[in-house]
Structure 1
């Protein structure tokens, strides 16, 4: 088996990374940063997001596993005191593959420019470069609303506990292939109307955003923030690809939700 390890970069994470690399090589596993079968993320959820984007071209071949060195993460289910146990599991135990849905974002440009495609593990947001964001929202090719406000957030089920939750969105179990549409500070009065509630769209539905008041937008893809000019439309849907997690023991989603938001 070939493996790679990504680290948050702090001294604790780097020490664990080097220790795990040595242990796994002692078990005759091959360290390969280019074509790993398994990627170990040491840090937090942000470190795993970085690893996901680094290996997004190998999602059908690479599985991820996380070790958290700070606060409890939604993607990292091992702690530093368990790395010997994890190393033995990786070296000796066949793992179960758990797949989570991803968000596909396609940005098309005016004047026939080449479209850009992204995959997000958590979410994508859209904001205006200046002033209020005004977007026509289409669902399944039909006009749904004209949004006016601070911005829009499209999230995956696994990302529903992140920015989406802060916007009042629902928490969705990641076994459900869906995306969620949430508004940021929408303007609602006697003149302007939006739905005002988060929407959950199934895998066969597409959400299309079409600019009304300007062609330039700030678009985030997980932790990446990008300026896009001359935008004609932004399309969102459940991606065909999925992220694969290597599970060596149960990691119940609702327990993670409880431990992160409810437990003392």
Structure 2
């Protein structure tokens, strides 16, 4: 089996990364940073997000597992003191694969010459760099509303516990192949009106966002930010690809939710 280990970059995570590499090589596993069968991340959920984007072109062949060196994460569920146990599992135990849905975002431009396709594990956000965002939202090819406000967040089920939750969005179980659209400070009065509630769209529905005012946009795809100029539309839907996690023991989603937001 080929493996790669990525680190958050702090002293504790780097030391654990070296230990993992040594342990796994002692079991005759191959360190391979280009075409790994399994990627172990050491740090937190952000570290796994970076690893996902690094290996986004190998999602059918690569599975991910995370070790947290800080707080318990939704993706990083192993503790540093469990490293030896995890190594034995990886070396000796066939792992179960759990797949989570991803978000596909296709950005099209006014010149019609190109389209950029992105995959998000958590979410995509769209905001205006100048004043309010004004955009037409179509759902499944039909006009739905004209949004006016600070911005919109389109999240995956696994990303529903991140920025989406802080916006008042619902927490969705990752087994639901869907996306969620949540508003950021929408303008609602006698003249302007939005739905005012998060929308959950199933796998076969597409959300198309078309900016109305001529402004530059700030887009985020998970941890990455980019300034969008001359954007004609953003097409959001559940991606055909999915992320694969290596599971060596049960780790129920609702248990993670409870431990992260409620505690014991």
For residues 214 and 87 of structure 2, the distance between their equivalents in structure 1, rounded to whole angstroms, comes to 52
- Residue in 2 that maps onto 1:248: 248
For residues 215 and 87 of structure 2, the distance between their equivalents in structure 1, rounded to whole angstroms, comes to 50
For residues 133 and 99 of structure 1, the distance between their equivalents in structure 2, rounded to whole angstroms, comes to 34
- Residue in 1 that maps onto 2:26: 26
For residues 25 and 46 of structure 1, the distance between their equivalents in structure 2, rounded to whole angstroms, comes to 26
For residues 77 and 113 of structure 1, the distance between their equivalents in structure 2, rounded to whole angstroms, comes to 43
- Residue in 2 that maps onto 1:86: 86
For residues 232 and 168 of structure 1, the distance between their equivalents in structure 2, rounded to whole angstroms, comes to 28
Check if 1:112 corresponds to 2:129: no
For residues 262 and 40 of structure 2, the distance between their equivalents in structure 1, rounded to whole angstroms, comes to 28
For residues 122 and 7 of structure 2, the distance between their equivalents in structure 1, rounded to whole angstroms, comes to 19
Gaps of 5+ in 1: none
Residues 71-120 of structure 1: CA deviation (Å, up to 9, x unaligned): 11000110000000000000000000000000000000002121000000
- Residue in 1 that maps onto 2:151: 151
Task: Give the TM-score, by structure 1 length.
Answer: 0.99
Structure 1 vs Structure 2 CA RMSD = 0.6
Contact 1:67 1:76 in 2 (8 A): yes
Check if 1:227 corresponds to 2:227: yes
**Superposition deviation, residue 215 in structure 1:** 4.7
Residues 101-144 of structure 1: CA deviation (Å, up to 9, x unaligned): 00000000002121000000000000001110000000001110
3-state SS, counterpart of residue 53 of structure 2: helix
Residues 216-243 of structure 1: CA deviation (Å, up to 9, x unaligned): 2110000000111110100000000000
Check if 1:138 corresponds to 2:144: no
Gaps of 5+ in 2: none
For residues 111 and 163 of structure 1, the distance between their equivalents in structure 2, rounded to whole angstroms, comes to 32
The correspondence of residues 24-173 of structure 1 with structure 2, limited to 5 A, is 24-173=24-173
Aligned residues: 264
- Residue in 1 that maps onto 2:258: 258
3-state SS, counterpart of residue 78 of structure 2: coil
For residues 113 and 107 of structure 1, the distance between their equivalents in structure 2, rounded to whole angstroms, comes to 11
For residues 263 and 80 of structure 1, the distance between their equivalents in structure 2, rounded to whole angstroms, comes to 20
Contact 2:130 2:215 in 1 (8 A): no
- Residue in 2 that maps onto 1:13: 13
For residues 112 and 76 of structure 2, the distance between their equivalents in structure 1, rounded to whole angstroms, comes to 42
Contact 1:181 1:199 in 2 (8 A): yes
